[in-house]
Amino acid sequence: MTAVGTLERHLRQRRDEGRKLLLPYITGGYPTDEWPRLIEGLAAAGADAIEIGIPFSDPVMDGPTIQESSTLALGAGISPVEILARLSEVEVDVPLIAMTYYNICFRMGHERFASALKEAGVSAAILPDLPLEELTPWAEAADQAGIETVLLAAPTAPDERLPRIAERARGFVYGVGLVGITGERDELASSAIEIAQRLKNVTDKPVLIGVGVSSPSQAVEVCSVADGVVVGSAVIRKIIDGSVDEAIDFVGSLRAGLDSI
Amino acid sequence: MTTTGSSSLMGNPDDAGRFGRFGGRYVPETLVPACAELEDAFRQAWDDPIFRSEFDELLHRYAGRPSGLTECKNLSSQLGFRVFLKREDLNHTGSHKINNVLGQTLLAKRMGKTRIVAETGAGQHGVATATAAAYFGQECVVYMGEVDIARQALNVYRMRLLGAEVRPALSGSRTLKDAVNEAMRDWVATVESTYYCLGSVMGPHPYPWMVREFHRVIGTEALSQCQEILDGDVPDVVVACVGGGSNAAGIFSGFVDTRAELVGVEPAGGAAVGRLVPGVVHGSMSFLMQDEFGQVQEAQSVSAGLDYPGVGPEHAHLAEIGRARYEPVTDTEVLNAFELLSRTEGIIPALEPAHGLAWMVKAKDELAGKTVLLNLSGRGDKDVAQVQAIRDGDPSALETVDFSSEANNTNGAQ
Ligand SMILES: Cc1ncc(COP(=O)(O)O)c(C=O)c1O
């Protein structure tokens, strides 16, 4: 048995106290100078952990909103190394999770990437194009360095696959709320609650649902079963159409919604 | 007859879909079951004599196979070595792409999928897919980079005429790599009903293997055609252009276990193998043009069909074990070769296989006295207007992608 990591311990404890978990996503480097302040604002607004995207040139799991923030961040010249350097200076009391595509990690080298995350004060990693079958070389390096690798579980997975994903996941299990890519949706897909239930049936690790969770009411709806939510595109949309402060307020409203359960 | 014996250097990949250390299945979790289902369906179909005979029948009666082998007497005497062309330009729709597409759409039909999505660069794979979808009565959506839509207007109209919907890819470099991104995003969202008809030997397992098998017919035919003319011998050198690498994989598969030397030719601005840096994008590990941080770089080539920063994983493997070599040529060399073949042999090649010929011209000292087979993967009708504009001095016709120094530094961001 691997020792339970920082992120999982933190999330389990809060869940077991009866709290629903809230994980906002932001794109590292967007908006250019304000993103570190955004992280601190989100923590203060009630985030239980924060997912920071390291933008990649070809984000195949992402819809137009996160494509836009990634393109803007890359266009402003931000690199993975700079993002991690800035993160190490951010002062928050919740765990940070790096989300990026596998080639960024592969290019740096598994050991180097894992230790760079560690040095930046990041607890965990999400690599959405690295499924179970390709995971081992990275996951071993991550385990070694004390970086928790969160795994995604999709509605398309057959029943036999879910326990294997849950078993290998560290930190929490990330249930994909719909069959599709990231982006805001008007309604919660029925698959969101279904995947949450299927995961809760096979694991006692925290189960969070993301992709297509876009509003406080949707977050509340899915948390009838799930332990929490990951909200990405809807947060980024608030920044694109408004400001960092509007995004922070929005996360505050998600928090209030979840606390009302 | 097709042989895929495991003793062949181009036999089956391992269970994880690897050719040496390249290949694999690096896809979002949502697509993992679909890739597994596709792999099962392909294995069963490829072992099923009924599927095989349906496929052969389509290649023969619909696509017009076997394609011919032409000896180029004029060109041979000019270059100082014996030149043969495998005439994939004479297939229905004008390129080798139809082989793969007929295999995949037949497989889609067998799997009960009624909607087909595809990406396209030059438009040849898109046209082939739209053609087969019309033939099978399947709904068809083709993603194409906005830049390519502008430079391949004729093929865009062809696809629409055939009943396909052409959707522009508006992100990144707005060329082939971005069209692949959009097609994959579509597939992630529609995977239960949709078949993704990938156009080259790239992507997640089983695509690189499956697409090569559907193109194996090129190599199988060419081998026996050469042996007939050469009294049982094979050419000294087999040459093919490499974008993703499907026409090259098809012809190489016929000669990989012979003494023939194998040469893949890449555009200098898209030479993934030439740079020898491994990476992962679009579902597999291979050589990949990227910056020091792993951001994928934009390829740059006069030919939309080769404007791709990656290469199929089996080519990375063949390069690494030294069985095939990969050589770069410039846009200017390609344009000269395009005109050379037109004038000397009365064959207007597509700009893609003109890369192969451009290398042969460049390497003519090395090739002196040898016998060389070039896979003429497509005909040049689609490129005539573009070449005319370049020769008439329209600089924008050669400046294919906006590649400002700023975009160059930040890679992929525009
Ligand atoms: C005629 C022709 N040859 C070659 C290619 C490149 O593809 P591949 O490298 O997969 O053969 C294309 C792509 O559009 C093409 O149209």
Average pLDDT over chain B reads 93
pLDDT of residue B411: 34
Is some CB atom of chain A closer than 8 A to the CB atom of B281? yes
**In 3D, which of A139, A258, A143 has the Cα closest to residue A209?**
A258
State mean pLDDT over B352-368: 98
Known active-site residue A33:
no
pLDDT of residue B401: 35
Radius of gyration, alpha carbons of chain B: 19
Please say if the pLDDT value at position A3 is more than 90: no
**In 3D, which of B140, B173, B109, B85 has the Cα closest to residue B378?**
B85
pLDDT of residue B304: 83
Count of domains observed in chain A = 1
pLDDT of residue A255: 98
State mean pLDDT over A216-235: 98
The pLDDT > 70 percentage for chain B reads 94
DSSP B307: -
CA distance B32 to B205: 10
Closest chain A residue by Cα to residue B31: A156
Residues of A with CB under 8 A from a CB of B: 56-61, 63, 67, 71-75, 77, 79-81, 102-108, 128-134, 151-158, 161, 165, 176, 179-181
**Do residues B378 and B95 lie in contact, with contact meaning Cβ atoms separated by under 8 Å?**
yes
Q: Name the more confident of B405 and B358.
A: B358
Residue with CA nearest ligand 1 atom 10: B246
Please indicate, yes or no, if residue A167 is contained in any of the structural domains: yes
Task: Return the HEC string of chain A.
Answer: CCCCCHHHHHHHHHHHCCCCEEEEEEECCCCCCCHHHHHHHHHHCCCCCEEEECCCCCCCCCCHHHHHHHHHHHHCCCCHHHHHHHHCCCCCCCCEEEECCHHHHHHHCHHHHHHHHHHCCCCEEECCCCCHHHCHHHHHHHHHHCCEEEEEECCCCCCCHHHHHHHHCCCCEEEECCCCCCCCCCCCCHHHHHHHHHHHCCCCCCEEEECCCCCHHHHHHHCCCCCEEEECHHHHHHHHHCCHHHHHHHHHHHHHHHHCC
pLDDT of residue B157: 96
Residue with CA nearest ligand 1 atom 7: B243
Output the CA B31–ligand 1 centroid distance in Å. Answer: 26
Is some CB atom of chain A closer than 8 A to the CB atom of B176? no
Hey, are the CB atoms on A60 and B292 less than 8 Å from each other?
Answer: no
Please indicate, yes or no, if residue A138 is contained in any of the structural domains: yes
Q: Name the more confident of B298 and B398.
A: B298
Q: Which residues line ligand 1 (CB under 6 A)?
A: B 95, 121-122, 124-125, 200, 241-247, 305-306, 350, 352-353, 377-378
A124-126 and B115-120: which strand pairing?
Answer: unpaired
- Residue B119, amino acid: E
**Do residues B309 and B270 lie in contact, with contact meaning Cβ atoms separated by under 8 Å?**
yes
Output the CA B314–ligand 1 centroid distance in Å. Answer: 16
pLDDT, tens only, B300-320: 889 888 989 999 999 999 999
Residue B274 pLDDT class (50, 70, 90 cuts)? confident
Please say if the pLDDT value at position B108 is more than 80: yes
pTM exceeding the 0.90 threshold for the entire prediction: yes
Cα dihedral sign for B44, B46, B48, B54?
positive
State mean pLDDT over B47-58: 98
- Tell me the sheet residues that pair with B376: B87
Domains in chain B with CATH codes: 18-61+97-196 (3.40.50.1100), 69-94+216-395 (3.40.50.1100)
CATH number at residue A50: 3.20.20.70
Active site residues of B: 72, 96
**In 3D, which of A27, A213, A75 has the Cα closest to residue B171?**
A75
Please say if the pLDDT value at position A102 is more than 90: yes
pLDDT of residue B36: 97
Please say if the pLDDT value at position B178 is more than 60: yes
Domain assignment of residue A206, given as a range? 6-259
Tokens linked to B67: 């394609």
Task: Work out how many CB contacts closer than 8 A connect A with B.
Answer: 135
Tokens linked to B69: 């082998």
pLDDT, tens only, B138-167: 999 999 999 889 878 889 999 999 999 999
Please indicate, yes or no, if residue A1 is contained in any of the structural domains: no
pLDDT of residue B2: 43
State mean pLDDT over A161-180: 98
pLDDT, tens only, A36-47: 999 999 999 999
Output the CA B218–ligand 1 centroid distance in Å. Answer: 14
- In order, the DSSP letters of B65-76 are PSPPEEE-HHHH
Please say if the pLDDT value at position B191 is more than 70: yes
pLDDT, tens only, B215-251: 999 999 999 999 999 999 999 999 999 999 999 999 9
Hey, are the CB atoms on A58 and B185 less than 8 Å from each other?
Answer: no
pLDDT of residue B397: 60
**Category of B261 on φ-ψ map: left (φ > 0), alpha (ψ -120 to 50) or beta:** beta
CA distance B131 to B115: 14
State mean pLDDT over B275-288: 97
Is some CB atom of chain A closer than 8 A to the CB atom of B16? yes
**Do residues B281 and B310 lie in contact, with contact meaning Cβ atoms separated by under 8 Å?**
yes
pLDDT of residue B122: 83
Average pLDDT over chain A reads 97
CA distance B255 to B142: 33
Question: How many other CB atoms are there within 10 angstroms of residue B393's CB atom?
Answer: 8
Q: Name the more confident of B395 and B378.
A: B378
pLDDT of residue B167: 98
Known active-site residue A51:
yes
